[in-house]
Amino acid sequence: MPRYVIERDIPDAGSLTEEELHGISQKSCVVLQEMGPQIMWLHSYVTDDKIYCVYIAPDEESIREHANKGGFPANSVAEVRTIIDPTTAE
């Protein structure tokens, strides 16, 4: 199944409290549970003004549906074509 990187513009995301991040995470998980096992959240990276999320989903439409149902921005959704790391250089 395809993997996606979602860019979410959230001003001051890096200043969100642990409690706020907990609430956002809970909301995301509730929506994912309602949508079924075909979409999965792997992890996210929080920066100063954005959150980058990595998901496995059947298509971009599912990613956008999750964002809409959860009330999250999905400013950019990109399908991951391949993964490279230092072992790629070997």
CB 58 within 8 A of CB 1: yes
pLDDT of residue 65: 97
What band does 15 get if pLDDT is binned at 50, 70 and 90? very high
Number of structural domains, the chain? 1
pLDDT at 81: 98
Residue 68's pLDDT band, with cuts at 50, 70 and 90, is very high
Parent domain of 22 = 3-89
Average pLDDT over residues 24-28: 97
What confidence category does residue 74 fall into, taking pLDDT thresholds of 50, 70 and 90? Answer: very high
Which CATH number is 9's domain given?
A: 3.30.70.3090
Cβ–Cβ < 8 Å for 35, 80: no
What are the DSSP calls for 15-48, one per residue?
Answer: G--HHHHHHHHHHHHHHHHHH-TT-EEEEEEE-S
